[in-house]
Amino acid sequence: MSFVIKRMYRGETSWNFLEVSGRVLIGSAVAVLICVVALLARGLNLGIEFEGGGVWEAPASEQITTDTIRDAASTIDMNDARIQRITGGDDIFRVRGELPSGETAESVGSVLAKAAQVDPESVSARTVSPSFGDQVAGKARRALVVFFVLIALYLTLRFEWKMALGALLAVAHDIALTVGIYALFQFEISPATVVAFLTIMGYSLYDTIVVFDRVKDNERSLPLKTRMTYSDLANVSLNQVIMRSINTTITSVLPVISLLVVGSLVMGATSLQEFAIALLIGLLVGSYSSLFVAMPVVARLKQREAHWAEQDRNAEVISASNSIENAATTLAAARYDRTSPPRPRTGPPLRGCHSKLAPEQRSCLVKNPCHLNNAAV
């Protein structure tokens, strides 16, 4: 195991990512389809900031149940209110619903406080108008569109349009899975969740750009007449950056897990839970989308180009098992030829009149230094 990890750190592995990417893409397509069905069937559990209404939170005791709170809410025409008992830290009852006509947030809080057997001042109330929720949703949609447009322009100018398309498909894949999981398990979506979604896009693009940059760097290192397919080039590049992607994912996931455990489960901060769950799902999904979604899409598009199509026809691949190793060796040799300094000349330096000797005479003097004193100009 340690030997494999060392090879991964040195970029010496020869895993065929593009070969297994087909099966991974099928699995991802099935997962996305399930998420889309869940989204259409169940919809999203939008928070009060998007739907409007009121939220009341009251301290919870062991003697009082959610049925008691629901009975009290029904007396003021809040039969459709959603009532939750939130544990972690101090237990609370959360009641969410539309403000009944003829009632105020304070009067509803007094009814709930009486049912929960607590002081009315200990009940917190928060109301949001539906128009404010529409404004928040509209701003979120505009931010998403602007993000995609700017990223598409940047990647097209920085790399090429094929890589821009692959990166955007990977981002869309990550967002679709994350939103689908929220629809499947009915996690509440709040403005903090939207911020997490935007953060997921940034992380997914960062990991993908690292892969693309290595591919472009390796492509520039290739001699013009090198017989190598784009698939081999992509596989070598992915093997070189796999450990960096794993390390980045681990160092990003650990703080999110601590945020989820300490912030939500210990301190009972639900806003942290909403943010951390979305971020955790997105980080895990984005860690493999750059390897198994973005790069395979680019490889399929690039193989249709005339140059790489000819390489596919003319490349002399010895066997499927060692073609990646051969490609890695070719790239290493090309990098050495491009970056290595000229070898220093062995033998004593030629000074004075000896520097005027013909090339063949210099060679003879270098091989036989003892003849230096007898050399004629």
Residues 196 and 216 in one domain: yes
Last residue of a domain, one of 128, 154, 187: 128
| Residue-by-residue pLDDT tens, the chain, 377 positions | 565 566 666 656 667 888 888 888 888 889 999 999 999 998 888 877 787 788 888 888 888 888 888 888 888 888 888 888 877 667 888 888 888 888 888 888 898 888 888 888 888 888 877 676 677 778 878 888 888 899 899 999 999 999 999 999 999 999 899 999 999 988 888 888 888 888 888 888 888 998 999 999 888 877 655 667 888 888 888 888 888 888 888 888 888 888 877 766 666 566 677 778 888 888 888 888 888 899 999 998 988 888 777 777 765 543 344 455 555 565 555 554 555 454 444 455 544 444 444 454 444 444 444 444 444 43
DSSP letter assigned to residue 353? G
> Cα separation of 313 and 322, whole Å?
18
Residues 37 and 154 in one domain: yes
Q: Quick one: residue 16, left, alpha or beta (phi over 0 = left, psi -120 to 50 = alpha)?
A: beta
CA-based R_g, the chain, Å: 32
Q: Give me the amino acid identity at 221.
A: S
Strand 124-128 versus strand 82-86 pairing type? unpaired
Residues 147 and 291 in one domain: yes
> Cα separation of 195 and 274, whole Å?
10
Contact at 8 Å (CB) between 293 and 204? no
Residues 36 and 104 in one domain: no
- By residue range, what is the domain housing residue 263? 2-45+132-310
Order of strands, sheet of 53-59, starting from the edge strand that comes earlier in the sequence: 82-86, 92-97, 53-59, 124-128
- Residue 337 domain-assigned? no
- Residue 333 domain-assigned? no
Residues 172 and 119 in one domain: no
Residues 233 and 249 in one domain: yes
> Cα separation of 112 and 118, whole Å?
9
Last residue of a domain, one of 310, 335, 364: 310
Contact at 8 Å (CB) between 48 and 130? no
Count of domains forming the chain: 2
Query: Looking at residue 248, which CATH number applies to its domain?
Result: 1.20.1640.10
Residues 238 and 91 in one domain: no
Q: Where are the beta strands (DSSP E) in 123-238?
A: 124-128, 188-189
> Cα separation of 23 and 262, whole Å?
37
Query: Looking at residue 124, which CATH number applies to its domain?
Result: 3.30.70.120
Contact at 8 Å (CB) between 90 and 34? no
Last residue of a domain, one of 310, 326, 360: 310
